[in-house]
């Protein structure tokens, strides 16, 4: 047999064993569902915490700095510096094996908290930049209409800021999907862990890992295309 044809046949057999045989593709899809769910809840948690941090930093820069506000701003800066300055893998190990060591909690919950906290440090700066990008006259206009600072922020400033930062938040979600590949370290059966398990069974690690990489790539390409369409529609609405 032609060596090339023989090699292709062996590759086909390897991928068949890694994906089709004994319905192993179901393990990949279940694992990827876990990956998407974990990423979605993590980014929601990250946006929630990030919004609070961004507002604290914005108020510290634009309002009279009382003692409480100065302390909160100091805590926010330290929090962001620590989270952005340490690897997410180390954070995951600390949260699960130390903080969650005495708790009977699901490793998925630990993963959501870890990646949500990690994401919040980056999202905070994105949201703060989005708020800063809104013309300062918007706040003055709201206050001149009789709205309080909080009402102006919620009704006028944040809607404009969120519209500007949604593409960046979409990119954060895409990044988070890829970062969660390490969550198998704490026994979460995500798609990467599923591929490793298949490799242990078949004694072939390359085919399942290539299948996993292809699944990530397809989802990231789809999300990137959807994000691009969304950005173009936002640009069109701005020109109207």
User: In Å, what is the CA distance from 168 to each residue of 156, 160, 171?
Assistant: 20, 14, 5
Question: CA 53, CA 66: separation in Å to the nearest integer?
Answer: 17
Q: Which of 107-121, 155-169, 182-196 has the lowest mean pLDDT?
A: 155-169
Question: Coil, helix or strand for 104?
Answer: coil
Comparison of pLDDT for 143 and 197, the residue scoring more:
197
Query: Tokens 């690897």 identify what position?
Result: 87
Q: Which two tokens stand for residue 194?
A: 């599923």
Provide the pLDDT confidence category of residue 192 given band limits of 50, 70 and 90.
very high
DSSP structural state of residue 189: -
Residue 150: count of CB within 10 angstroms of its CB: 9
State the CB neighbour count (10 A cutoff) for residue 228: 12
Q: What is the pLDDT of residue 238?
A: 61
- Kindly report the average pLDDT of the chain as a whole number: 88
The SS3 of residue 1 is coil
In this prediction, residues 115-125 reach a mean pLDDT of 95
Number of Cβ within 10 Å of residue 42's Cβ equals 27
**Are 218 and 154 within 8 A, CB to CB?**
no
Residue 1 reports pLDDT greater than 60: no
- Check residue 165 and give its pLDDT: 87
Helix (H) or strand (E) holding 210: helix 206-239
* The pLDDT value given to residue 31: 94
Band of the pLDDT at 239, cuts 50, 70, 90? low
pLDDT of 64-113, one tens digit each? 667 888 899 999 999 999 999 999 999 999 999 998 887 877 899 999 99
pLDDT higher than 90, residue 3: no
pLDDT above 70: residue 240: no
Instruction: Label residue 237 by pLDDT band (50, 70, 90).
Output: low
What pLDDT is recorded for position 168?
A: 87
pLDDT of 81: 95
pLDDT tens, position by position, 173-182 = 999 999 999 9
More reliable by pLDDT, 164 or 109: 109
pLDDT over threshold 90, residue 208:
yes
**169 vs 70, 123, 127, 204, 217, CA distance in Å?**
28, 7, 9, 37, 19
Task: Name the pTM for this structure.
Answer: 0.89
Dist CA 92 CA 168 (whole Å): 24
pLDDT above 70 for 151:
yes
Residues 161-165 have a mean pLDDT of 84
């Amino acid at each position: 047999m032609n060596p090339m044809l023989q090699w292709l046949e062996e590759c086909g057999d390897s991928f068949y064993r890694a994906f089709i045989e004994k319905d192993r593709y179901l393990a990949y899809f279940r694992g990827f569902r876990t990956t998407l769910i974990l990423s979605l809840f993590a980014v929601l948690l990250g946006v929630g915490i990030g919004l609070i941090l961004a507002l604290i930093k914005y108020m510290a820069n634009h309002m009279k700095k009382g003692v409480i506000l100065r302390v909160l701003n100091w805590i926010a800066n330290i929090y962001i510096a620590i989270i952005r300055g340490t690897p997410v893998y180390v954070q995951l190990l600390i949260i699960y094996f130390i903080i969650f060591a005495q708790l009977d909690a699901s490793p998925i919950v630990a993963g959501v908290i870890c990646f949500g906290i990690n994401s919040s440090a980056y999202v905070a700066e994105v949201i703060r930049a989005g708020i800063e990008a809104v013309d300062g006259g918007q706040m003055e206009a709201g206050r001149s209409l009789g709205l309080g600072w909080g009402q102006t922020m919620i009704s006028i400033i944040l809607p404009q800021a969120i519209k500007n930062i949604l593409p960046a938040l979409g990119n954060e979600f895409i990044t988070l999907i890829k970062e969660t590949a390490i969550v198998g370290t704490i026994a979460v059966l995500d798609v990467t862990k599923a591929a490793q398990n298949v490799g242990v069974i078949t004694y072939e690690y390359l085919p399942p890992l290539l299948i996993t990489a292809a699944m990530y790539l397809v989802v990231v390409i789809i999300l990137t295309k959807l994000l691009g369409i969304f950005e173009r529609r936002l640009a069109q609405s701005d020109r109207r």
